[in-house]
């Protein structure tokens, strides 16, 4: 193979692997993140069934928080190997270990508590508009989801899609993303509200 052919072939391989490389670089350089998000649930027929929005906080390793603000208030907080799910309308808290919650929130894939390469097969999905997509398939056959898509815009998290084994898609769009700003540690400390029922898998 001459030098020109080698260079073209190498450039093609680099372009092919670029989304996966961007994801790895993003995870390496992002120590913290906060962003607005919009989440849409889509049923088997492809129809949106529920939309919600709020604020997402991430601090690696192992800490994140979803604050759902509309239409219902909910919180999902991860710290110290545990995940707390709080529904304010039901006044109910569910506590799970991180390894039991892999299908419950895609943020675990970004938190650093879970090794992507050990637990997922990663495939480049190319570019759609200005987003580059990576598809992750769980290596564990007992996983509660089929795949997760992660979208990056200019090397920064911009979207996620999770497909579960019941035919439902969860799409999440991030905006106003700010990387590596200092975050208060109290964001990741969860205390069940007074009077809330607590269910634990511990």
Query: Which H helix or E strand runs over 175?
Result: strand 169-179
* Token pair in block for residue 9: 């072939």
pLDDT value for 15: 45
Rounded to an integer, what distance in angstroms lies between the CA atom of residue 85 and that of residue 98?
A: 12
pLDDT value for 16: 47
**Is the bond preceding residue 97 a cis peptide, omega within 30 degrees?**
no
Given a cut of 70, the residues of the chain with pLDDT beneath it are: 1-17, 99-106, 113-114, 202
Query: Which H helix or E strand runs over 118?
Result: helix 116-119
Rounded to an integer, what distance in angstroms lies between the CA atom of residue 156 and that of residue 159?
A: 9
Q: Are 110 and 122 in contact (CB under 8 A)?
A: no
| Topology given in CATH for the domain delimited by 3-200 | outer membrane lipoprotein receptor (LolB), chain A (2.50.20)
Of the chain, the end-to-end C-alpha distance in Å amounts to: 59
Taking residue 185's Cβ as centre, other Cβ atoms within 10 Å add up to 10
| Residue 30 per-residue DSSP state | -
pLDDT value for 99: 67
pLDDT value for 17: 53
Kindly give, in sequence order, each residue whose CB lies less than 8 Å from that of residue 151, ignoring residues fewer than 6 positions away: 128, 131, 132, 133, 157, 158, 159, 160, 161
Reduced to 3 states (helix: H, G, I; strand: E, B; else coil), residue 127 is strand
| Residue 31 per-residue DSSP state | S
Taking residue 18's Cβ as centre, other Cβ atoms within 10 Å add up to 17
Reduced to 3 states (helix: H, G, I; strand: E, B; else coil), residue 185 is helix
pTM of the model: 0.82
Q: Which residues of 37-72 are buried (b: 16+ CB within 10 A; e: fewer)?
A: bebbebeeeeeeeeebbbebbbbbebbbbbbbeeee
* Token pair in block for residue 99: 């390894």
């Amino acid at each position: 193979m001459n030098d020109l052919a080698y260079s073209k072939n190498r450039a093609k391989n680099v372009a092919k692997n670029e989304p996966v490389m961007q994801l790895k670089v993003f995870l390496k350089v992002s120590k913290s993140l906060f962003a607005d998000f919009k989440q849409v649930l889509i049923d088997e027929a492809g129809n949106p069934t529920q939309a919600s929005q709020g604020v997402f906080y991430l601090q690696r390793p192992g800490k994140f928080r979803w604050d759902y603000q509309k239409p219902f208030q909910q919180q999902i907080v991860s710290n110290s190997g545990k995940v707390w799910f709080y529904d304010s309308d039901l006044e109910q808290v569910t506590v799970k270990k991180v390894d039991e919650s892999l299908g419950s929130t895609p943020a675990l894939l970004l938190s650093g508590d879970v090794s992507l390469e050990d637990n997922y097969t990663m495939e480049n999905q190319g570019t759609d508009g200005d987003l580059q997509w990576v598809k992750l398939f769980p290596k564990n056959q007992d996983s509660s989801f089929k795949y997760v898509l992660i979208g990056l815009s200019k090397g920064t998290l911009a979207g996620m899609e999770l497909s579960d084994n019941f035919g439902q898609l969860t799409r999440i769009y991030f905006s106003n993303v700010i990387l590596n700003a200092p975050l208060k540690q109290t964001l990741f400390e969860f205390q069940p509200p007074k009077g809330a029922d607590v269910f634990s898998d511990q």
